Each structure stands twice: as C-alpha cells, then as structure tokens.
Structure 1
Amino acid sequence: MTEFIIRTIELGGLLGIFVLMALENIFPPLPSEIIMGLGGVAVARGAMEYWPLLLVGSAGTTLGNYWWYWICDRWGRTRLEPFVTRHGRWLTMEWHDVERAQAFFRRHGSWVVFAMRFTPVLRTLISIPAGLSHMGAVRFLVYTFAGALVWNLAMVELGRRLARSQELLGWLVLAIFVAAFGSYVWRVLTWKPRKRD
C-alpha cells in the first residue's frame, strides 16, 4: 500500500501535493503526515526536490486553511451557526465547539494560528474563530504559512529518514491512516448534539 501511495504522489508531482494538502485542511480524514511524509520518501529517492515540495505543500496547507477562514469571515455567525448545526455530525463539531474556539482565540491572540499548526484537529479548527473575528487576512496567511512550513519540514525530514526502512515506514503509514480515519469515523458514529437549555 505504501509503495502505491508513493508512486501516486510521484505521479501527481507538486500539483498533486498542493491539491492534497489543500484538501487535507478542508476534509478531516486526509492526514498531512502521510502526504508530506511520503513526499519526503520521494525526495530520498530523487523523485522530488526538497524545497519545492516543502514550499508547495505549505502553500496547499495555507490555501485549505484560508478556505475556512474566508467562509467564516464572509458568512459571520448568522450564516455559519445554522450550517454547523445542520452538518455538525459530518464536521464532528457543534456550535458550542466554535464558541469555545472563539473564546480561546480571544484569550490568547492571533499568534495561536501559528501555534495550532502543530496539533492534529485544532490546526484546522483555529481558522474558524480567526475568520469570525475578522483577523487581518495577511497576518492570517503569514502565521498559517509559517506554522505549516515548520510542521511540514518535520514531516518531510521524518519521511526522508525513514525511506531506508520500508517495513517500518509501511507500518507507520498504516498506523497514521487508521488512527486518523478511525478517529473521524468514531467521532461521526458517536456524535450527539449538546442539549440546549
């Protein structure tokens, strides 16, 4: 399976990396760890260049996060709350989660957009309060790109170093995929809306 994904990434090239990384931030079950990690394997094999992979992957991450930011900035609470309430199960969140994220954002400031890039679920969720708070677009893009660059650098390096151990790499990719996809499915199946007072 790992070899198939690596070949697919190599075939898609930088455009494929860009699209996958953008989608990873829009649709929860796609893990960036696998995309950029296996991109690192492609670098080790000489099928991809290190810096273009890192920059394009981070640009894709930034675009995916900007999509959520833009929606929230344009829609505001009035239009976003009914959307989250209606599709909460598939988003695996409810409006209460958005309110908590907003409170966290207000309490800690806009730098958390950078810091949250290193957490599995919150790295996408933090774009929502940033948009609802109408954070400056340029600052949002800079913080997001900078955080994504650091995270993706770690993933590419990990993949590059593990390229020599195909068996370990295969198990690691499988574990990450099962954890990410399984976690999403579990949250969808066990999701219950909070009872309103």
Structure 2
Amino acid sequence: MAKWVISIISSTGSWGIALLMFLENVFPPIPSEVIMPLAGYMVTNGELSFISIVIAGTVGSVLGALPLYYAGRRMGEHRLNEWADRHGCWLTISRNDIESASRWFDRHGGVAVFFCRLLPGIRSLISIPAGIKQMNMASFLAFTAVGSAIWTAVLAFLGYWLGSSFQKVDEYLNPISWVIFGGLAILYIVRVIKQRRQGAAKQNA
C-alpha cells in the first residue's frame, strides 16, 4: 500500500495528497496516518516541499469535513439517526457514533471541533454534530483548518524526520500495511453486516 500511495502522490503531487485526505474524511479507505508520513518522506527526495504537503493535506481535510457538516445541518439529528440505522453501515457510521460525537460537541462546544481533529476515530464524525447544532460556518472552518493543519504537519514531519531511514522502514511497512488494510476491509464488511442486521431488527420491532 505504501508504494501505491507514493505512486499516486508522485504522479499527481499536492493534488493527490488533497484528494486522498478528502477521501480519508468522507470514507476512510486509507488513514491519514499513512498518507501524510509518506508525503513527508517524499519531501526528503526533493519531490515536494513541506509547506505544500501540509497545505494540501489541510485543504483536503477541510473539504472532506464539509459533506458531513452539511449532512448534519440539513437532515437534523433525528433524520440523520434514522438514516444511520438504515444506511450508515456503508460509511461505518452508526447512531451510537453520532450520539457520541454529539456529546463531545455539547460538552466542549465549538472547541471540540478543533480538539477532535487531532483524535483518530472521531476526527471526521465531529463535523456531524457541528452541522446539527448549526455551528457558524466561519468558526467551523477556522477550527477545522487549524486542527487539521496541526495534525497533518505532525504526521508529515514524522515522515520527513525519518528521512533516508524511511526507505528501510518501507521494506517492512509495505507488506504490513497491506495486511492492516486487509484486516480493516474485513472489519468493515463485518460492521456492515452487523449494522444492517441491527437496522432490520429495529424496523421489525
């Protein structure tokens, strides 16, 4: 997988990073913990600049947060929970996920958007309650951008800091990352099946 990600970034540059980070937020096929360190490593080869990859990663993350924000804003909590019960399994979003993110938002307000952008697992979901509560768009974008910039910069610096050693790491990372990806794919399928059964049970109850 590592070589595949590197090939995409090599052929598309910063646009590829932005696209991968956008997809990671909407539907996480490849986590940012893989994308940005690999992009940081490519800086050491002179293919990209550090600033450009951080900007690209941040832009992709911010754009990826908007669909979930607007989903929450337009549908509201009740309709969104019903949608999650019926179809959320395809995006691995459940009612419990939405309610958990909502509690974070209720407890910490708009600042939760900033802090949650630094937390794997809830980074994308926090956009939903922000939309449900109709958080001011300018504030949402500002908190999302700052949190995303810090997250992408830290991950990119990790890859940059490893530098030439990353080539040796890649020899082990590439096969291991495919195993991890395969495991995540299996977990995704299991979760889809489980949520579909739970949704069917609720509809029949």
Task: Give the TM-score of the pair, scaled to structure 1.
Answer: 0.88
Partner Cα distance (1:174, 1:156) in 2:
21
What are the within-5 Å matches in structure 2 for residues 2-151 of structure 1? 2-151=2-151
What are the within-5 Å matches in structure 2 for residues 155-174 of structure 1? 155-165=155-165, 166-172=167-173, 174=175
| Structure 2 residues not aligned, in runs of 5+ | none
Partner Cα distance (2:42, 2:108) in 1:
38
Residue pair 2:42, 2:48 contacting (<8 A) in 1 also: yes
Shift of residue 96, structure 1, vs aligned partner: 3.0
* Change over 3 Å in CA distance of 1:111–1:20 after alignment to 2: same
Partner Cα distance (2:146, 2:175) in 1:
28
Deviations 1:46-103 (A, max 9, x none): 0001111111210110110122111211222343233211123223232233123212
Q: Report percent identity of matched pairs.
A: 36
Matched with 2:187 is: 186
Q: Give the aligned residue type for 2:169.
A: L
Partner Cα distance (2:95, 2:170) in 1:
38
Deviations 1:153-174 (A, max 9, x none): 1111111122312121343455
| Structure 1 residues not aligned, in runs of 5+ | none
* Change over 3 Å in CA distance of 1:14–1:188 after alignment to 2: same
* Change over 3 Å in CA distance of 1:72–1:56 after alignment to 2: same
Provide the secondary structure at the position in 1 that maps to 2:30.
coil
* Change over 3 Å in CA distance of 1:68–1:181 after alignment to 2: farther
Task: Give the TM-score of the pair, scaled to structure 2.
Answer: 0.85
Shift of residue 18, structure 1, vs aligned partner: 1.2
RMSD: 2.2
